[in-house]
Amino acid sequence: MKFHRPQHEKPNKQKKRRCLLLAGVVLTAAALVTGLTMAKYVQQWKSEPALVGTKAFYFTSDLLKDASENASYELYSWGDGIKIQLQNFEDEKRISETDITYEVSYTLTGGAKSEVTKGTIASGAGTAVSDTITVKPEPGAKTVTVTAKATSPYEKALSALLC
C-alpha cells in the first residue's frame, strides 16, 4: 500500500529549512562580531597596559613615615644635618617599577619653611634604590618637621617631627 503525502506539508518543510538557514546566518554573524570585538580589546590591552592596571609604587624612608603614623624622634645633635633615606622599595620583593619624582621640605619651630629640595629615585630595574637627603636646619632650632612628597607617577607624603 502506498501512502500519499498531502501537498501542504512541502511548504512547511521549506519554512523549517529557511528558519534554520536564517538562524545559522544570524548565529554566524553574532559570533563574527563578538570575535572581532574581543580581538580589538585584546590588542588594545596589550598595547596600553597602563589602562588595565597600575605599576608597582613604593615610596618609603628610614625616618619618615605616613602622616597618619605621627612619627616623632628625639635627636641629640644635628650639627652636620639630618640624613634621611628615601627609597623605592618596601622590602626586597616589593620594588617600584617606575622612577619616582619627589620633593623634600622642612618647617622649623614657629613655622619658618625651608626651600624645597627636589629629586628623582630611579626605578632600578628590579633592584632597590635609595637617595640620601641631608636636611640642615638653622642652629638653635628646637623642632623640625620634615616632609617628603612623591609627586610622580603617584602622590604620597611621608613626614616626621624631629626634636
pLDDT, tens digit, 9 for 90 and up, residues 84-140 = 888 888 888 888 888 889 998 888 876 666 767 888 888 766 677 777 778 877 777
What are 45's three cell numbers?
590591552
- What band does 29 get if pLDDT is binned at 50, 70 and 90? very high
Q: Where are the beta strands (DSSP E) in 10-129?
A: 60-61, 65-66, 72-73, 82-87, 89-91, 94-95, 100-108, 117-121
CB 98 within 8 A of CB 105: no
Say if residue 153 is preceded by a cis peptide, omega within 30 of 0. Answer: yes
